Amino acid sequence: MLLPVLCGGCAALAAVLYALYCWIIPALVQYNGTVALLWHDVFVERMLDTFTRSTRPQRMLKAVQKNATRGDPLSVISAIDRFCRHSEWAMNVGDEKGTILDSVVSEVNPAMALELGTYCGYSTVRIARLLPPGARLVTLEFNGDYAAIARQVIEWAGLEDMVQLVEGASGDWIPRMKEHFGVKTFDFIFLDHWKDRYLPDIKLLEECGLLRKGTVVLADNVICPGTPDYLEYIRNSPSYESNYFRSHLEYTKAEDGLEKSVYVG
């Protein structure tokens, strides 16, 4: 009699734990960005890395290779969005804020664009697919493992000819942009890297003369995880005209947003 009871108890516990992991906790953390980041980036990612002996970027790449059509950027974007909504959350700009990114890129129609923080190439693909013929996008990624995945995602989307991905620290690369890439100024800049680098890097871009009158700077995650020092600077500087686009942290219902700032000199 004891064994069936123990087996039944174990089965019930397993069912409860499965429900907690798959439905209850993910639903609860949807409305709190800080808790969502801890749950997805600390607990879930590390657990899956251990169990699958792979990394989240590698799993994302497999989803692209399985579900996206080569040479079709939209299918790559859709494959990553499905992966992040239904399989495993990841900190891309996401589909909701991605439409804001799309509209700003389309409005600016940049000939020369810069992205700080490539991660796995999701936002890179979103930006590059909207660039006019002959335009270039320089995207910078500090993590070499992420960069290796991003290159494959960008290639799968068929955009490798218009994207230049470089590895390294933004503080090292920004002063070398003019010399290395033959860049005079950037028309559009997307900030989506380490949040504590937003403020020093925008100041460095200014110092290096990489902004022109009319350059548009779009910054992600200004509420969650948050960039209060950057927002204070950019909103109070007479060199910028800024607007906040309220949205949600990627693939959740927690508040986040994008700050669009036009450099007026």
* Residue positions annotated with a catalytic role: 192, 195, 220-221, 250
Please calculate the CA angle 114-120-122 and round it to the nearest 5 degrees: 65
d(CA 93, CA 257): 10
> CA separation (Å) from 173 to 28, 63, 109, 169?
40, 31, 24, 6
Q: Are 233 and 212 in contact (CB under 8 A)?
A: no
**Distance from C-alpha of 68 to C-alpha of 141, rounded to nearest angstrom:** 23
Backbone region of residue 246 per phi and psi (left: phi > 0; alpha: psi in -120 to 50; beta: other values): beta
Alpha carbon distance 258, 79 (integer Å): 23
CA Rg, the chain, in Å? 20
Closest among 161, 167, 113 to 137, alpha carbons compared: 113
Contact between 223 and 36 under an 8 Å Cβ cutoff? The reply is no
Q: What residues contact 137, with CB distance under 8 A and at least 6 apart?
A: 113, 114, 115, 124, 127, 128, 131, 162, 163, 164
Question: 261 pairs with which residues across the strands?
Answer: 217, 242
243 forms bridges with which residues in the sheet?
A: 260
